[in-house]
Amino acid sequence: MKFLPIVFLIGLLTCLSCEEPANNSTSESAPTANPSTDSQPKNEEASSAALTAPVAAAKEYPEKQPCKINGTTLEGNEHYVRRLGKVFSLVSDHTVYDEKLGESHRVFQVYTVDDCNMITRHALPINRSPDFPYLLQMNTFEEVNQVVCCQGFDEVFCYDLASNNMLPPMTPEYVNSRNQVDAQSGMPVALKTFDKYLISYAVDHGFTGYDLRVKKKPKSYPPIAEFSNGEKLNDLFAFKLESGLHQLYFPSFEESADDPIQLTPLLEKPMDISPRVSRSVRNNRFIVLRNKPDKTHFVIDMKNKKLIDIPADIASKNVQEVRKWVKENKG
């Protein structure tokens, strides 16, 4: 029994020695576990440093391009895009010179103004005749598609800036066959980018389109319908947007305008429609299209380029009955 106090004392000292590291550990970890003390000032300092850190300025290119272009260039077939530091040109040089007809403006070139190095060169095929030049349509360049296109009588070529390659050619297609009124029929006049599509206009042939949604495989994208009143053609396009919905357009052309091709939406807002039109009725005055969600139809007056009102009970009928009603009441 006399050893009991000694055992008790040894046990007490052992317990105190076990508790001491735990107390030390708690006191050391406490500052890092409290976000209201050390962590907050550090974040504020980091944010302040980020705000005051210098931002790399965009590279400045010369106001005027300093490069000598190889070959001869027609007016409008050379363009300097300063923000890119690149010069685009369509020229005629000795490699395409025709002994009978002379210069042939069909060589596409791109230069970088840093060193005036030619980074790409493509000799395009003859544009129906060696002396018929291609048009360099710089207004086709924008940030979405990043293409610069050359428009000819029978083909459109687009250069892809992202890959530094010329894309496969696109051939114009029309709803109805086109007649050659004279040598200028089909001559390219204008080309416009819309979303991931191109709209082109040619003498006597009117409008057609091209699809750039799959850039490696661009293709023709003709109107879904067309109407001629004997003097002019009205072409109806249905463009599928990124939302998956369609918007309809009747393009117009004003030669003297800075932007000669204008697109005005026909629908109040894009719709989920079936844009296919039977070949047999593509040149009719009235075109009937179907709204998928409610399975109703609506009618477009191709002559006056507008929608026409039809009764709700007629809109819900099949397309043949809708056409019959339109013929009896609007024809």
Domain boundaries, the chain: 56-222
Instruction: Report which of 175, 174, 167 is spatially closest to residue 196, judged by C-alpha positions.
Output: 167
Q: What is the pLDDT of residues 242-291, one digit of tens each?
A: 999 999 999 999 988 889 999 999 999 999 999 989 888 888 999 999 99
What is the model's pLDDT at position 141? 92
What is the model's pLDDT at position 272? 97
Residues 252, 250: Cα–Cα separation, whole Å: 7
Residues 9, 233: Cα–Cα separation, whole Å: 110
Q: What is the pLDDT of residues 64-106, one digit of tens each?
A: 999 999 999 999 999 999 999 999 999 999 999 999 999 999 9
Q: Is residue 178 within 8 Å of residue 185, measured between CB atoms?
A: yes
Residues 235, 225: Cα–Cα separation, whole Å: 6
Task: Give the Cβ contact number of residue 50 at 10 Å.
Answer: 8
Six-digit token pair at 289?
């299209």
- Residues 32-49: what's their mean pLDDT? 41
Instruction: Report which of 114, 170, 129 is spatially closest to residue 147, judged by C-alpha positions.
Output: 170
Q: What is the pLDDT of residues 138-149, one digit of tens each?
A: 999 998 899 999
Q: Which residues contact 104 (CB under 8 A, 6 or more apart)?
A: 92, 96, 97, 98, 126, 130, 131, 133
Residues 181, 171: Cα–Cα separation, whole Å: 20
Model confidence at 235, pLDDT cuts 50, 70, 90, reads very high
Model confidence at 151, pLDDT cuts 50, 70, 90, reads very high
Model confidence at 6, pLDDT cuts 50, 70, 90, reads very low
3-class SS letters over the chain: CCCHHHHHHHHHHHHHHHHHHHHHHHHHHHHHHCHHHHHHHHHHHHHHHHHHCCCCCCCCCCCCCCCCCCCEEEEEEEEEECCCCEEEEEEECCCCCECCCECCCCEEEEEECCCCEEEEEEECCCCCCCCCCCEEEHHHCCCCCCEEEEECCCCEEEEECCCCEECCCECCCCCCCCCCCCCCCCCEEEEEEECCEEEEEECCCEEEEEECCCCCCCEECCCCEEEECCCCEEEEEEEECCCCCEEEEEEEECCCCCCCEEEEECCCCCECEECCCCHHHCCCCEEEEEECCCCEEEEEECCCCEEECCCHHHHCCCHHHHHHHHHHHCC
Q: Answer whether residue 112 shows pLDDT above 80.
A: yes
235 to 154, 194, 317: CA distances (angstroms) = 19, 16, 26
